[in-house]
Chain A
Amino acid sequence: MGLGRRDLLKLMGGGAAGLFLTPVPWRLIDGVAIRTENWPGVPDPPRGEVRTRYTTCTLCPAACGVRARSVVDQPVSLAGVAAHPTSAGVLCAAGLCGHHLPLLPSRVRQPLARRGDKFQPVPIDTVAAAVAAALEDIRNSGSAERVAVLDARPGRTASLIYRRWLGTAPNGIYLLAPSADSSASLGIDIARTGTVLSFGAPVLDGWGTPGRVLEARRSFRLIQVETRQSRTALLADGWLPIRPGTEAALALGIANVLIAEKLYDAAAARSASDFAEYAALAAEFPPQRAAELTGLPAQTIVAAARDFVGHGTAVAVAGSDPGAGPMGDGERIAIAALNVLAGSIGREGGFLPRGEAPRPPGFEEAALAPEHGIADAPDASIRVLIIDDARAAGAWCWSAIERKLARAHIVVALTGSLDGAARHADFVVPAPAYLEEVEDAPAPPDVPAAMFSLAGALLKPPPEAVDGVDFLNRMAGGGAALADVLKERVAAIHAARRGEVFHYTDGARTAVSDVKSAEDLWKALEEGGCWIDRRPAPKQEGRVTILGAAADRVLEAASGRLPADALYPLALVPYGWRGASGGAVSPIMTKLYQESDVETGGDTVELHPDTAQRYGIADRQVAIVQTRCGSCRRRVRVDDAVMPGVIQAEVGPSASGNCRPEALLDACGVAGDGTWRLARASLRRA
């Protein structure tokens, strides 16, 4: 009567069957799943005191207030600062995940030098000595080769230090990074704006200061001009889906209607010295011609023009796409001219002139190198290029920069992570990552008053980290640290005794004249605060020029960016997301977007079904996108929302989390004005 093998199997079979009718397997699966979320190896912040600290976001020019929940000294979550005068308690997706950036695997932790295709660690003094030797060589040889700093975030105090240093360096030239806004002297009074006519600006998707724009959204009408059905286009009051590269044609078409129907601000027009020349140019683009170029019906253009000026103060804004880079000068001028016609410059609800935070002695404008776009630098002229803070710059087409480099050149990238332009550098210097250094943030471009915020350091940088000013000092053998210059600037703000300080901790405001000392002001700003200047009074500018010497560029841009090409019949349109294109991104950002957004990515292109059918390509197949400048492989997504004849190519992280858009951007090619927004392309199945 013993148990045989078969008996044992039957007993075990019964046991196994019974077990599945108990909680055991399900509880074990559940428990193991939970255990894997917390087992050793998963990074955990230390247990300890939970504190709330405050700083300012410096990931983009919006300078939003940040409330950081920290365990001991480690920030574990970021949120906006309620009642912040510009960000209004809002942080964008990139800002919410900013505390992950110092932890990214691509973090640079020591100085690197290029050896062939790879980087090898070198002492920081080796990097400084190599650059100093090149500078000495230029100085001694009397060469016309240039020394340049490419600044991804202009307007900071560090930017002033760069410009002062370039003012004394041999042939120094200060360059604004592509898609970086200059330290603009006009801010938009969007809280009082009646209509926003946006040419590609992602107004409702992270443009300007997101919190301020979203707060004002209830009060302004939004007309979005964009080839792509972006999120802003979907949420706008009106969407004008134009053919790629026809923004200037539409702007002149609208100007034509405004002038013909006398809907423009006559006083503002009289203040423009070249209004007659501009009106003559606009006359070449009646609605019918603009319609032929843009693909919109003529009556739609007429209606858009009337809509533009029919709801209070109207502003027209041109967008720099985070993936596709800046618009050309021709487009920018054609769009900006609409603001003159609408009379929105110097008017409440329009563009208001603003000053900037007082500067410390020695930083007067005359002592500084002027700001230039990359296109302003002659080709093959730059011997030494220092790139500061590639993290904030969005995607760059490296060929736009490469063509400016001399044959023998040194490129130094100061960066927290080995991404974007840093991968092309000869030397990589490990800069402090976000939240690791005390720095300042100037007024966001869309704010009509001068501002100055300090971003206090919430984390200690690694010992090898070197900020840009420190790097200059190492080359020069000494100089004031950034923190010291920042203190001087805060002292200058205190001495001016104007404006007020907003305290992040309690939302209180204190007049600067009531702050006892510069040290007290520094402390208030460093603990979480921003200085806000008095709101400027609306003031009409004196004489202005609309076209200046750029009439030819405007006409060229308006005549169409994409000439017909039988070999490359499609239009390649790159686009990106703010905070997710070109730079380091936190993987958790994928949780902030819809699944359909995550499905597309840096390794996909989107096509209209008719286009896909014409080229025999099905959804999810891999295709080769070919242009005259290069090619790239991308997976195809077929989408009705894409305009026929257009290839939409996203510049951003792929599903794998990588963000290597170089092949796509290089395939777009760089136009003469330094832009890469469009290209003629063909397509074939891989």
Chain B
Amino acid sequence: MKNYRGSILFLAGFAVALAAGWIAFPKAEYERQNQPVQFSHKVHRDKGGMKCEDCHAIRDDGTFSGIPAVDKCAGCHASPMGATDEEKRMIKRYIEPNREIPWLVYARQPENVRFSHAFHVKLAKLACERCHQAHGDSDALPAFERDRVSGYSRDILGDPALLAASGHHPGMEMDDCIRCHQVRGVQDSCLACHK
């Protein structure tokens, strides 16, 4: 038994490390935060009759409007639309004091990158769902997961399970951008994104 003691300890350490690395680490790597307001794209589309472009439009000059400011929300939500607590809370916290909602943006690019929605949507004719999945069908916003080390968002939508179905996992890292550019045979020089 004495002869095997060292090997057992080695294997025990090996097994613990494997378990920690494959099971615990992925959970610990990201911190999860809920969005400040539980927003339902589905309700706005189905009941509000809104289109994606009403809030997420590419302007005439090519810039992307991104997430609308609270003014846009106040256009309809000046007073509560419905009786949910979430609705009342949003109006009290953000609409009435005219305070911007601190959305946690899944796809916010770092300052050293220039990403143009106009190039990708208008020129390359990529559907929004290609990267963001069918966000417009969602009834709730997934938790925002931030990498504790890099500070990046985990995914540009947030839920890898949804993205697995697409066969491609668009994330926030440069490799994700390059992979897609190479697959599509488009330029991937440094200055294409780092101006």
The interface of chain A, by Cβ under 8 A from chain B, is: 6-7, 10-19, 21-24, 27-28, 30-35, 37-38, 42, 44-45, 50-52, 69, 76-78, 96, 505, 588, 591-592
Q: Are B21 and A18 in contact (CB under 8 A)?
A: yes
Q: Classify the secondary structure of B's interface with A.
A: helix
B residues contacting A by CB (< 8 A) are 5-6, 9-18, 20-22, 25-26, 29, 61-63, 110-112, 114, 147-152, 173, 189-191, 194-195
Q: How far, in whole Å, are A592 and B191 apart by their CA atoms in the complex?
A: 8
- Partner of A14 from the list B9, B25, B26, B194 (CB cut-off 8 Å) is B9
Closest CB-CB distance, A49 to chain B, in whole Å? 9
Give 25 A-B contacts (CB < 8 Å), ordered by A residue. A6-B6, A7-B6, A7-B9, A11-B10, A11-B13, A12-B13, A15-B17, A18-B14, A21-B17, A22-B18, A22-B20, A22-B21, A27-B29, A28-B149, A30-B173, A34-B147, A34-B149, A34-B151, A34-B152, A35-B151, A37-B112, A38-B110, A38-B112, A51-B63, A78-B195
Smallest CB-CB separation from B64: which chain A residue? A50
Shortest 5 CB-CB contacts between residues of A and residues of B: A22-B21, A14-B13, A31-B149, A18-B17, A77-B195
- Choose from B20, B61, B149 the contact partner of A27 (Cβ within 8 Å): B149
Among residues of A, the one whose C-beta sits closest to the C-beta of B16 is A15
Q: What residues of B have a CB within 8 angstroms of the CB of A11 in the complex? A: 9-10, 12-13
**Which of the residues B10, B16, B21 comes within 8 Å of A23, measured between beta carbons?**
B21
A6-B6, A30-B150, A45-B111 are known contacts. Are A96 and B63 too (CB-CB below 8 A)?
no
Q: Are B21 and A24 in contact (CB under 8 A)?
A: yes
* A604 to B10 CA separation, bound complex (whole angstroms): 55
Residue from A15, A34, A50, A78 in contact with B63 in the complex, judged by beta carbons closer than 8 Å? A50
Q: In the complex, A77→B195 CA distance in Å?
A: 6
A-B interface pairs (CB < 8 A), number: 116
Q: Chain B residues near A24: list those with CB within 8 A.
A: 20-21, 25
B151/A38 in contact, CB under 8 A: yes
B9 touches A10 (CB 8 A): yes
Which residue on A lies nearest to B110, using beta carbons? A38
Give chain A residues whose Cβ lies under 8 Å from the Cβ of B190. 591
Bound-state CA distance A13–B13 (Å) is: 7
Give bound CA distance, A459 to B17, whole Å. Answer: 54
Beta-carbon contact of A18 and B62 below 8 Å: no
B residues within 8 A CB of A52? 61-63
Q: A31-B149, A69-B63 known; 14 other A-B pairs, CB under 8 Å?
A: A11-B13, A13-B13, A16-B13, A18-B14, A18-B21, A21-B18, A28-B149, A30-B150, A33-B150, A34-B147, A34-B173, A42-B112, A45-B111, A52-B62
The reply to whether B15 and A35 contact each other, CB–CB distance below 8 Å, is no
Alpha-carbon separation in the docked complex, A392 to B113 (Å) = 29
| A14–B22 touching, CB < 8 Å | no
Contact A31 B147 (CB under 8 A): yes
Q: Are A31 and B22 in contact (CB under 8 A)?
A: no
Min Cβ gap B66→A in Å is 8
B151 touches A23 (CB 8 A): no
Once the chains are docked, how many angstroms separate the CA of A78 from the CA of B191?
11
**Which chain B positions have C-beta within 8 A of A37?**
110, 112
* Neighbouring A residues of B29 by C-beta, 8 Å: 27
Contacts of A7 in B (CB 8 A): 5-6, 9
List chain A residues, Cβ under 8 A from B17: 14-19, 21-22
- Find out whether the CB atom of B10 lies under 8 angstroms from the CB atom of A34: no
In the complex, the answer to whether B151 meets A27 with C-beta atoms within 8 Å is: no
The CA of A37 and the CA of B151, in the complex, are separated in Å by 11
> B191 to A96, Cβ gap below 8 A?
yes
The reply to whether B150 and A34 contact each other, CB–CB distance below 8 Å, is yes
Q: How far is the CA of A563 from the CA of B177 in the complex (A)?
A: 58
What CA separation (Å) do A51 and B194 show in the bound complex?
Answer: 18
Assembled-state Cα–Cα distance A38/B109 (Å): 11
A517 to chain B, nearest CB (A): 26
* Chain A positions within 8 Å of B12 at CB level: 11, 14
When C-beta atoms are compared, the residue in chain B nearest to A50 turns out to be: B63
Instruction: Decide: B11 and A19 in contact? CB cutoff 8 A.
Output: no
Known: A23-B21, A24-B21. A18 touches B151 (CB 8 A): no
Judge whether A22 and B22 touch: CB under 8 Å: yes
